[in-house]
Structure 1
Amino acid sequence: MKHIIIGTAGHIDHGKTTLIKALTGVDADRLKEEKKRGITIELGFAHFDLPSGKTAGIIDVPGHEKFIKNMLAGVGGIDIVLLVVAADEGIMPQTQEHLDILSILEVKKGIIVLTKTDLVEKEWLELVQEEIKERVQGTFLEKASIMPVSATNGEGIEELTQLIDEMTEQTEAKDRLLPFRMPIDRVFTISGFGTVVTGTQIEGTINEGDAVKIYPQGIDSRVRNLQVHDKNVKTSYAGQRVAINLANIKKEDIQRGNVLVPPDAMQSTMMLDVKINLLKNEQRVLENRSRLRVYHGSSEILCRIVLLDREELNPGESCYAQLRLEEETVAKRGDHIVIRFYSPMETIGGGIVLEPNPVKHKRYREEILNELKIKEQGSPEQILEEAIKRFSDKFENTHFYGVQTGLGEDKTKKLIALLIQENKVIKLLDTIMIHKSYLDGLREKIINTLSVYHKNNPLKSGMSKEELRNKIVPQAKSKLYDEIMDYLIQDKVIKQLNKHISLYDFNIVYTPEQEKIKSKIEKMYFETRFNTPSVKELMENTEDERECTQVLYVLIDMNRLVKINEDFLIHIEHYHKAIALMKNYVVENGSITLSQFRDLLGTTRKYALPLLDYFDQNKITKRVGEKRTLL
């Protein structure tokens, strides 16, 4: 079933609260001061059953200019607005400001309710209606119905209820598939239950028992109990007014303006990238670095606005900007904001969030402006691709991109599949997404790094794999780095020999003298089998120790010689033969001792013991007392 939230708007004392009572039977003014002064100060809430059987929530907002902050906290999640205009006064200053705010927030549907019709003559009523039609020209209420009513005698109330019901059929349902999100507009405690928060659930579904997080503080909690329209429920949905009893949390830890979401569904930020629109009827220009009040969800935050492509914004103009906030918040791409001057506090415009977790931008950067243009006008696929480009070096997963773009995890998965199919995105370790351009950049860095290394080290088989990682992608963990390397190996960019990486086409080229030394060394270690010369002995029998050392380490790098320890090397063929002899013996006898292994190889303890220790280190054998068994 579709769930609808209706909000009121209009000047003080134009009859919003009285109208709600006539529609619902509920007095939305709940504070003693409100009843004493006869004005709405705080948000009020009610609900009523429509003729079609749907139940609609209704929010009463203050009309006084001093309480505009409270009004803004309540209108963020409404589907239909009742713009209330008293017939005896017509359009007043707060009527216009409320209309501006509703337009900024892109409320799509509304009804103009002309109240107190019992106090005026028919001719006056017609004049007021004409004035209203002129004032709403060019706004979302331009073609809205004007419903004359009297909450005192009930005239027009039934017809208004019917019109609201009909309008709910044309209202677009909120997305239940996105992660749950509820800006908190009220916090209180109930004896025996603890802390309760209320708000308009703008996205998703929440269940009793679900884990939740309060942002921007990042406090973990759990849904102990849910209420919708004063009734306990197991599940609540986007488009409902919800009261949530939270477990293990104090009232003092939460405040209006906080947001309730699933754990890790959002990220706190001190900056927002936005597209700002200044109202046409605003009298002042907006200068770069002006101090403003920004209203988002149910929060009010002070900020400095940085205009990214100009020094000032004139009435009726729009531009890209970055808001540098004075306290943390959370937002999603596509959220609407309202801005007011710090002083005097007047609404000057608003905008839409393009990037909820930006880096600090320098002004007049063409590439930044182009990125923001894509985020504003691009398709969901383009927006996701830009996000993956930006965060590729962070090696983030699908969940992260669903949060970052505001697309939700399910839609993000589908779009990523398309981007992979188009060869724009690469998936690593089944969860990590990087952009093809980032991988191409890594490829160039690796080619350049290895080219320099090969030039300086022509007799080395390649750079240590770990050294290359530290130079190119130190932030990548081992498994992720291995997968990147495997991708480039399959692409014939690089090759790997043991723990060394070289360019795919690289081969060691020996001088004639080095070729002689290589043949001599390899022949010597092959012929001496398990009784090889030490490195020191080898150097004593060479005319050029420097060349001999270089060639020796090439043979080790290329796995022709195995380095058992600093002074004991063995030919690769005899190394494998030693393993085979040892394994056959253990299979037949259950274990092998040092002396048995020594005799098996026809060598001495000097060579047999280091070999067995090397087998232990490489998890070929396991030492149990004086014996070795196979692992």
Structure 2
Amino acid sequence: MHWRDTLPDWYIDKYGYQPCVNIGTAGHVDHGKTTLIQALTGSWTSVHSQELKRGITIRVGYSDAAFYKCTSCEEPLGYSTTPKCNNCGGESELSRVVSFVDSPGHESLMANMLSGSALMDGALLLVAANEKVPRPQTKEHLLALQTLGIQQIVVVQNKVDLLSYKEALANYQDITKFVKGTHAAKAPIIPISAQSGLNVDALIGSIESNIKTPDRDEKQDTVMHVLRSFDVNKPGTKLKNIKGGVIGGSLTQGVFNVGDEIEIKPGILNKKKKTYEPLVTEITSLGTAAGIVESVKPGGLVAIGTKLDPSMTRSDSFIGSVIGKPGTLPENSTQLKLDVTLFDSAVGTTEDIKVQPIQTGELLRVNIGTAPLLGKVSKVKSKNVEIELRRPACIFEGGNVALSRRIDERWRLIGAGIVG
């Protein structure tokens, strides 16, 4: 039975047929992020052929789960992902539906992780109990979460079944030292085995207690950040049966309905004018994990069917775009003004490399929403930095931006900025 078939009226009235909160997974490659999501949702988020061959997550993956609470059992025994309690066999009530954002842990895919972080309301930070703490990407992901303002965190101590109690306790103490002074300093640390499902009920209970559903204002101008775009037509489809391009992402505020006119920024490149022009189209269909719907709200991955030529949306060509109602989004701009805070050391390097001040003329990678972009520093005055982007972006004032510098032939996270 799919969770959509168990939704009570109160949930449908408030959130519709979709998840109400986005929770990310972060941590070093092979520490069990995708395995944990499979244990919680029954879905394997690494579905692309290249991901399966390499055994790592490459793109940001989404998967949904409904959490239920037994009306009889004491916490945390009564939490499960099925309407029937795994502990006593009794009936359970829906707590909420959650969407998990599985981000890449490999260092070369950090830009993808940062893109996924832009849509997270909270996060699970996975740490493998059988490895040294912290591993490079564990540290980098935690700082990335902090950089992008994600404060609701649950630390997951995975693979405890591979250790003795004494070894697991020592690892727990190492984790406590590692998160000290960060947003995760007061986060609960839950020991589990994602492979066997050990203690998953306690983890669900901790998620429900510590990662709250944000208050959403449906009356605000709608904003959707794009993570995917594709052509759903199979080769050989007859012209009369061709469907328009599909765009996938997540709403952060507002509502979209079938039939709405939408604007996509920065749009597409006009080669003659050498400028990006926004696109205006109509929503022909809306989809969530529960199926085809008439309207969508913030929470989970949403698919928007459009009247765009499907060749325009294939191969994730719209990643990093922003969608809203016409005339409501910020104007395209290549000028980025930031109030910057640099880290003491570059993140993700094996050696401790001190972060040097940003210099005029240097090339940086910036993550604005779900868009990873390159830009050249045009002006530096104390903490105020101006960057000329190589291509325009739809930039929201007050937004968090991650900054990376090329170090040892990799883009390394060096700090964060707030758009001024």
Do they fold alike, i.e. is TM over 0.5?
A: yes
1:483-502 correspondence runs (5 A): none
Deviation at 1:232, TM superposition (A): 1.3
Q: Provide, for residues 379-430 of structure 1, a one-character-per-residue CA deviation record: whole Å limited to 9, x for no partner.
A: xxxxxxxxxxxxxxxxxxxxxxxxxxxxxxxxxxxxxxxxxxxxxxxxxxxx
State the partner residue of 1:210: 260
Whole-angstrom CA distance in 2 between matches of 1:86 and 1:292: 32
Contact 1:57–1:229 (CA<8 Å) still a contact in 2? no
State the partner residue of 1:393: none
Aligned AA for 2:372? Answer: E
Deviation at 1:171, TM superposition (A): 4.0
**Does the residue aligned with 1:346 lie in a helix, a strand or coil?**
strand
Deviation at 1:255, TM superposition (A): 2.1
Residue in structure 1 matching 2:247, options 184, 188, 197:
197
**Does the residue aligned with 2:411 lie in a helix, a strand or coil?**
coil
Aligned AA for 1:234? Answer: E
Aligned AA for 1:112? Answer: V
Aligned AA for 2:256? Answer: I
Whole-angstrom CA distance in 2 between matches of 1:307 and 1:248: 39
Q: Whose relative contact order is higher, 1 or 2, with alpha carbons under 8 Å and at least 6 apart?
A: 2
State the partner residue of 1:295: 367
Q: Provide, for residues 315-342 of structure 1, a one-character-per-residue CA deviation record: whole Å limited to 9, x for no partner.
A: xxxx122221111001111211101014
State the partner residue of 1:25: 42
**Does the residue aligned with 1:100 lie in a helix, a strand or coil?**
helix
Contact 1:293–1:340 (CA<8 Å) still a contact in 2? yes
**Does the residue aligned with 1:279 lie in a helix, a strand or coil?**
strand
Contact 2:367–2:402 (CA<8 Å) still a contact in 1? yes
State the partner residue of 2:110: 68
State the partner residue of 2:87: none
What number of residue pairs does the alignment pair up? 345
Whole-angstrom CA distance in 1 between matches of 2:27 and 2:176: 15
Deviation at 1:143, TM superposition (A): 0.3
**Does the residue aligned with 1:222 lie in a helix, a strand or coil?**
strand
Contact 1:203–1:239 (CA<8 Å) still a contact in 2? no
Whole-angstrom CA distance in 1 between matches of 2:398 and 2:146: 15
Whole-angstrom CA distance in 1 between matches of 2:398 and 2:299: 17
**Does the residue aligned with 1:193 lie in a helix, a strand or coil?**
coil
State the partner residue of 1:626: none
Q: Provide, for residues 572-627 of structure 1, a one-character-per-residue CA deviation record: whole Å limited to 9, x for no partner.
A: xxxxxxxxxxxxxxxxxxxxxxxxxxxxxxxxxxxxxxxxxxxxxxxxxxxxxxxx
State the partner residue of 1:162: 205
Aligned AA for 2:265? Answer: Y
**Does the residue aligned with 1:94 lie in a helix, a strand or coil?**
helix
Contact 1:221–1:249 (CA<8 Å) still a contact in 2? no
Whole-angstrom CA distance in 1 between matches of 2:320 and 2:397: 18
Contact 2:60–2:101 (CA<8 Å) still a contact in 1? yes
Aligned AA for 1:263? Answer: P
State the partner residue of 1:99: 142
Whole-angstrom CA distance in 2 between matches of 1:107 and 1:42: 20
In the alignment, does 2:121 pair up with 1:57?
A: no
Deviation at 1:172, TM superposition (A): 2.8
Higher helix share: 1
Aligned AA for 1:145? Answer: P
Residue in structure 2 matching 1:186, options 228, 234, 258:
228
State the partner residue of 2:214: 172
State the partner residue of 1:328: 392
1:232-243 correspondence runs (5 A): 232-243=292-303
| Max Rg structure | 1
Deviation at 1:301, TM superposition (A): 1.0
In the alignment, does 2:140 pair up with 1:80?
A: no
In the alignment, does 2:22 pair up with 1:5?
A: yes
Whole-angstrom CA distance in 2 between matches of 1:116 and 1:272: 43
TM-score, normalised relative to structure 2 = 0.79
Distance 1:347 1:53, change over 3 A: same
Contact 1:50–1:162 (CA<8 Å) still a contact in 2? no
State the partner residue of 2:339: 275
Deviation at 1:181, TM superposition (A): 1.1
State the partner residue of 2:319: 256
Q: Provide, for residues 343-364 of structure 1, a one-character-per-residue CA deviation record: whole Å limited to 9, x for no partner.
A: 541000111112xxxxxxxxxx
Q: Provide, for residues 150-188 of structure 1, a one-character-per-residue CA deviation record: whole Å limited to 9, x for no partner.
A: 1222111111112212234x4432332221111111111
Whole-angstrom CA distance in 2 between matches of 1:251 and 1:127: 54
Aligned AA for 1:34? Answer: E
Contact 2:24–2:122 (CA<8 Å) still a contact in 1? yes
TM-score, normalised relative to structure 1 = 0.53
State the partner residue of 1:46: 63
**Does the residue aligned with 1:21 lie in a helix, a strand or coil?**
helix
User: Please, what is the CA RMSD of the aligned residues?
Assistant: 1.6
**Does the residue aligned with 1:323 lie in a helix, a strand or coil?**
strand
Whole-angstrom CA distance in 2 between matches of 1:249 and 1:213: 15
Contact 1:7–1:58 (CA<8 Å) still a contact in 2? yes
Contact 2:246–2:310 (CA<8 Å) still a contact in 1? no
Q: Percent sequence identity over matched residues? A: 30
Deviation at 1:307, TM superposition (A): 4.3
In the alignment, does 2:152 pair up with 1:109?
A: yes
Whole-angstrom CA distance in 2 between matches of 1:140 and 1:323: 28
State the partner residue of 2:349: none
**Does the residue aligned with 1:332 lie in a helix, a strand or coil?**
coil
Contact 2:25–2:103 (CA<8 Å) still a contact in 1? yes
**Does the residue aligned with 2:256 lie in a helix, a strand or coil?**
strand
Contact 1:187–1:255 (CA<8 Å) still a contact in 2? yes
Contact 2:64–2:300 (CA<8 Å) still a contact in 1? no
Whole-angstrom CA distance in 2 between matches of 1:274 and 1:39: 33
Whole-angstrom CA distance in 2 between matches of 1:276 and 1:297: 16
State the partner residue of 1:220: 280
Whole-angstrom CA distance in 1 between matches of 2:343 and 2:180: 15
Whole-angstrom CA distance in 2 between matches of 1:65 and 1:176: 37
State the partner residue of 2:52: 35
Whole-angstrom CA distance in 1 between matches of 2:406 and 2:52: 30
Q: Which runs of 5+ in 2 are unaligned?
A: 1-13, 69-93, 234-241, 268-277, 347-353
Aligned AA for 1:261? Answer: G
Whole-angstrom CA distance in 1 between matches of 2:247 and 2:263: 13
Whole-angstrom CA distance in 2 between matches of 1:284 and 1:172: 34
State the partner residue of 1:345: 411
Contact 2:405–2:414 (CA<8 Å) still a contact in 1? yes
**Does the residue aligned with 1:53 lie in a helix, a strand or coil?**
strand
In the alignment, does 2:187 pair up with 1:127?
A: no
Whole-angstrom CA distance in 1 between matches of 2:187 and 2:96: 22
Whole-angstrom CA distance in 1 between matches of 2:311 and 2:191: 43
Aligned AA for 2:97? Answer: T
Aligned AA for 1:17? Answer: T
